[in-house]
A and B are shown apart, each in its own frame.
Chain A
Amino acid sequence: MAVRIFTLERRKMTIQTFEKEALKKKAVLFRKEILQVTNAAGSGHPGGSLSAVEILIALYDYKMNHKPDDPQWEDRDRLIISKGHVTPVTYVTLANYGYFPKEELKGFRKFDSILQGHVHRKVPGVEFNTGSLGHGLSVVNGIALGAKLQKKSFRSYCVMGDGEIQEGSVWEAAMSAAHFKLDNVCAIVDYNKVQENGPTNEIKNLEPLAEKWRSFGWHAIEVIGHNFDQLIAALDQIDTIKDKPCVIIAHTIKGKGISFMEGERGWHGKAPNDEQLAEALKELE
């Protein structure tokens, strides 16, 4: 990848020369690689990875200030993947933005690889080990509180699953972020409507979801999470919100892009076999 620094300057340039087609192409590439790495590993979580592709591209390509060559850069925006099982999309994204050689992806979930089954800080670009749901938002609040004390202007993002927010700890953290007026916190809910054992709103209804967040003191924005225009508009909007945290509720499709995976809970935590991979890759052509 030619451009390896994503800063404010770069973002201004991107806004001017923003090409949706390039982002869409990237999304197709990421989807292929998500399927390839899970197929090679023989296990993993493709469903919730495929639903979060555009969210991560919008963050890494457009919104976040970050330097892949300097993952510990102190002014970088922070991102915690609270739905820690979506390592396929996380690692594919980080590799494509230059955090580590793409060659490493072959080791995904293997014994001698840094690419653990759930996100781990050993991987350049990963801020926090997760994998147990409902942890990320409190940690993001802590980082954001620390940033305020240090008068630092970076933002802290938390990507969460929809099933994940059934965890009570999420709402403890939601109350805290509003109480401490953490306008440097942005949560993004990958609302793909399906969790391990079935449709999210049958297992335990989240609705009315945006109202829930608003009643907790958050600024909530609903978007189609596969639409770059909407994602980018929402990410622009959060800059204008003062004294309260923001949540982007991204309506997505679990297994997005692959006809036999879309909306199917079976693909939450199962890798495609060789035949299924070939079929899926053909669909993405």
Chain B
Amino acid sequence: MSEKMVPTRDGFGKELVEIGKANEKVLVVSADLEDATRAEYFKNEFPQRFFSVGIAEQDMVGTAAGLSLQGFVPFVNSFAVFMTNRAYDMIRIDVCYNDCNVKIICSHAGVTVGPDGATAQCLEDFALMRVLPNLKVVCPVDELEARKATQVFAKEIGPMYMRTSRCAFPVLTKPEDPFVIGKANIMREGKDATIIACGVHVSEGLKAADILAQEGVEVRVVNMHTIKPIDEEMIISCAKETGAIITAEEHQKHGGLGSAVAEVVVKQCPVPMEMVAVDDSFGRSGSPEELLKAYHLKDVDIVESIKKAIKRKTLQSV
């Protein structure tokens, strides 16, 4: 593939600077990882609106909640592991229960974090974040979508969580493509099964669809950029129109995108489903590509899952 490759964290960082020029209410509260999350771009441009509380994630989230009470729009940022795990109670109480207008931006999620290994590879953020009332959970597919998501975060009121990537992801969308929280986008049409994916797995899904097309199997690919609120309408129509669903994500199989989709499928439109996800284990060091292979998260793994789901579909209809 010859797509442009850019980490989605870069999209967030660049767009926040643009937003900061127009909106003086936008602030950044940081816990000493702004270089990695790209919130540093904002710090360089607007040092007077940037606050580092040091390595103190709980304090970062609470401070941001306080700033939001004064009408500011604070963006907090860290690695997904430290934010969602370390500061969970503050996200739950200070941000979600108090319904504060705090924007949570987390880079370094999934196995594509690479060589840093398990403690830096967050594989449970969707599960942790999507059970919190009031919180919206977004995972942009590419740099462009990260920019659009950042704009929406700054504009719309309420708690929001965004997962960005350390690793460069292919740019799959165009500037004119719509981005609406809770409205998934179809990236490729097909009638035999649907891959519902987020993040880098949308491109893995497209590659899987290419492989299957050579065998005469037509697979639809959906970019489910919003994990919560999940696009039920899209899931139902995909189930009805293609009869099988395969989810793909770099997250634990428990509680992530696959679970969110399954919750809709089971209730509204039961069809065979398979999940491509991390199977109840921690990450490890390696290159993103090596890790995607080792954890069975590649296009070929999606292909296998699609075949399984389609086979079950045929069995059910006999």
Binding site for B on A (CB under 8 A): 121, 127-132, 134-135, 137-147, 149-150, 168-169, 172-173, 175-176, 179-180
Contacts and interface: CB of A to CB of B under 8 A. Distances in A.
B234 to A, nearest CB: 34
B67 interface: yes
A169 B90 contact: yes
Given A121-B98, A127-B69, A129-B98, A173 B93 contact: no
Contact of B66 (A130, A131, A146, A179): A146
Contacts of A121: 98
A180 B72 CA distance: 18
B131 to A, nearest CB: 16
Contacts of A134: 58
A122 B280 CA distance: 41
A168 B59 CA distance: 10
B56 A176 contact: yes
A126 to B, nearest CB: 11
Interface in B50-67: 51, 53-54, 56, 58-59, 61-67
Contact of B94 (A135, A150, A172, A175): A135
Contacts of B61: 138
Contacts of A179: 53-54
A164 B56 CA distance: 18
Contact of B64 (A131, A142, A144): A142
B71 interface: yes
Contacts of A130: 93
Given A129-B98, A172-B54, 16 more contacts: A130-B93, A131-B93, A138-B94, A139-B65, A142-B62, A142-B63, A142-B67, A143-B66, A145-B67, A146-B66, A146-B72, A169-B90, A172-B58, A176-B53, A176-B59, A179-B53
Q: Tell me which of A134, A168, A173 has the highest count of chain B C-beta atoms within 10 A of its own C-beta.
A: A173
Q: Tell me which of A168, A169, A179 has the highest count of chain B C-beta atoms within 10 A of its own C-beta.
A: A169
- Binding site secondary structure of chain A: helix
Contacts of B56: 172, 175-176
B89 interface: yes
A137 B65 CA distance: 11
A143 B69 contact: yes
Contacts of B66: 138-146
Contacts of B69: 127-128, 139, 142-143, 146
A139 B56 CA distance: 14
B54 A142 contact: no
A139 B53 CA distance: 13
Given A142-B69, A146-B70, A169 B58 contact: yes
A141 B62 contact: yes
Interface in B92-120: 92-94, 97-98
B63 A141 contact: yes
A138 B59 contact: yes
Contacts of B51: 145, 180
A234 B214 CA distance: 80
Contacts of B93: 129-132, 135
A133 B240 CA distance: 48
B77 to A, nearest CB: 16
B182 to A, nearest CB: 26
A169 B70 contact: no
A143 B70 contact: yes
Contacts of B89: 132, 135
A131 B69 CA distance: 18
A128 B58 CA distance: 16
Nearest to B70: A146
Contact of B98 (A128, A138, A140, A168): A128
A132 B62 CA distance: 12
A133 to B, nearest CB: 10
A173 B97 CA distance: 20
- Interface pairs A-B: 6 shortest CB-CB: A142-B66, A138-B62, A146-B70, A172-B59, A172-B56, A142-B63
Nearest to B98: A129
B63 A175 contact: no
Nearest to A78: B69
Given A129-B98, A146-B72, A175-B54, A135 B67 contact: no
15 contacts: A128-B69, A129-B93, A131-B93, A134-B58, A137-B62, A138-B66, A139-B63, A139-B65, A142-B29, A142-B67, A146-B66, A169-B59, A173-B63, A176-B54, A179-B54
